[in-house]
Amino acid sequence: MKFPFRPIRIAESTRQSTQIVPPRRSRQAMPYQLPPDPAKSAYVRTRFDAIAHRYDLFNDLITQGQHRRWKRVLIQRLKLQKGARVLDLCCGTGDIALRCATRLGGQGQVVGLDFSPNMLRIAATRRASSGVEESIGFISGDAMALPFRANEFDAVTIGYGLRNVADIGVCLAEVVRVLKPGGMLASLDVGKTRPILLRPLVAFYFFRIVPLIGRLLLPGEEMFSYLPHSSVGYPHQDRLVEILAAHGFTHVELVEFLGGASVIHIARKAGPL
Ligand SMILES: C[S@@+](CC[C@H](N)C(=O)[O-])C[C@H]1O[C@@H](n2cnc3c(N)ncnc32)[C@H](O)[C@@H]1O
pLDDT tens per residue across all 273 residues of the chain: 332 333 333 233 333 344 555 655 544 444 556 676 668 899 999 999 999 999 999 999 999 999 999 999 999 999 999 999 999 999 999 999 999 999 999 899 999 999 999 999 999 999 999 999 999 999 999 999 999 999 999 999 999 999 999 999 999 999 999 999 999 999 999 999 999 999 999 999 999 999 999 999 999 888 888 888 889 889 999 999 999 999 999 999 999 999 999 999 999 998 876
DSSP string, 180-201: EEEEEEEEEEE----SGGGHHH
Distance CA 87, CA 269 (A): 14
Beta strand 153-159 pairing with 85-89: parallel
**Residue 271: per-residue pLDDT:** 82
CA of 145 to the centre of ligand 1 (A): 14
Q: How many CA atoms lie within 13 A of 167 on its CB side?
A: 11
Please provide the size of the chain in residues.
273
| Centre of ligand 1 from the C-alpha of residue 119, in Å | 8
88 CA: nearest ligand 1 atom: 6
DSSP characters over 200-254? HHHHHIIIIIHHHHHHHHSTT-THHHHHHHHHHSSPPHHHHHHHHHHTTEEEEEE
Which residues fall within 8 angstroms of residue 143, CB to CB, at 6 or more apart? 89, 90, 113, 115, 158, 161, 165, 171, 174
pLDDT of residue 208: 93
Q: Please report which helix (H) or strand (E) contains residue 179, including its range.
A: strand 179-190
∠ CA(187), CA(94), CA(127), 5° rounding? Answer: 145
Q: Output the CATH code of domain 12-269.
A: 3.40.50.150
* Domain ranges (residues) in the chain: 12-269
27: which residues sit within 8 A by CB, 6+ positions away? none
C-alpha 161 to ligand 1 mean position (Å): 5
Closest C-alpha residue for ligand 1 atom 17: 165
Ligand 1 cavity residues, CB under 6 Å: 41, 44-45, 48, 59, 90-92, 95-96, 114-116, 119, 142-144, 159-161, 164-165
User: Ligand 1, atom 7: nearest CA belongs to which residue?
Assistant: 159
- Contact between 146 and 113 (Cβ < 8 Å): yes
Q: What is the pLDDT of residue 222?
A: 84
Distance between Cα 159 and ligand 1 center (Å): 8
Cα(91) to centroid(ligand 1), Å: 6
What one-character DSSP code corresponds to residue 37? Answer: H
Helices (H), 105-183: 117-128, 168-178
pLDDT confidence of residue 26 = 44
**Per-residue pLDDT, 3:** 29
Q: Closest ligand 1 atom, CA of 165?
A: 16
Three-point CA angle 29, 30, 36, nearest 5°: 155
Predicted pLDDT of residue 226: 86
The residue whose C-alpha atom lies closest to atom 10 belonging to ligand 1 is: 161
Inter-residue contact 187 to 160 (CB < 8 Å): no
pLDDT of residue 220: 86
Distance (angstroms) between ligand 1 centre and the Cα of 67 equals 15
